[in-house]
Amino acid sequence: MLRRTLPIAGLLCLALASAASGESRDAWTQPGPQWAKLNVCAPVQVGVRASLPGDGGGGDMAARFTLQWLNPETQAWEPVDGVATSHWIDAGPADVNWTQVGYTFDLDPIPAGVKHTFRGLAELKLAGGDAAALTTPSTCALEG
């Protein structure tokens, strides 16, 4: 069985802004990128990262991540044992074009001869109160 250990305080991602200061909201013609992906796949860690589009206006953004594993018996995606979902992570104000945040899940070592496949889910609180739920398009396979 898999189990989530203590959360890692230092996240893998930095908040980035691509707009110069002083730009007005009218200067924003395209929202920034919105995606979720796995960015760490190591023997005892899996990291999930997301990009949140700002709108040049006010409000705060946040993300929360869940790690799932593919149960080979049921072929269903299930949350990992323990704490499978991160706390809400502040992604900063929506006055940027886009920002990125992430979370790294610590796993117990996988027993020898066992293989687990993981995917991540990202719940996003976006500018203006909008919300999104994204599943990582790729998976991560780890063997013991």
How large is the greatest C-alpha to C-alpha distance in the chain, in angstroms?
57
Q: Where are the domains of the chain?
A: 28-138
Is the pLDDT reported for residue 5 higher than 60? no
So what's the pLDDT on residue 27? 41
pLDDT classification of 99: cutoffs 50, 70, 90: very high
So what's the pLDDT on residue 140? 96
Percent of the chain residues topping a pLDDT of 70: 78
pLDDT digits (tens, 9 = 90+) for 46-83: 999 999 999 887 789 999 999 999 999 999 999 999 88
> 28-138, which class in CATH?
mainly beta
Is the pLDDT reported for residue 101 higher than 80? yes
Report the length, in residues, of the chain: 144
Distance CA 37, CA 27 (A): 29
DSSP E strand stretches across 43-125? 45-53, 60-71, 76-79, 89-93, 98-106, 115-125
pLDDT digits (tens, 9 = 90+) for 16-35: 233 333 333 444 455 689 99
So what's the pLDDT on residue 106? 95
Is the pTM for the entire model greater than 0.95? Answer: no
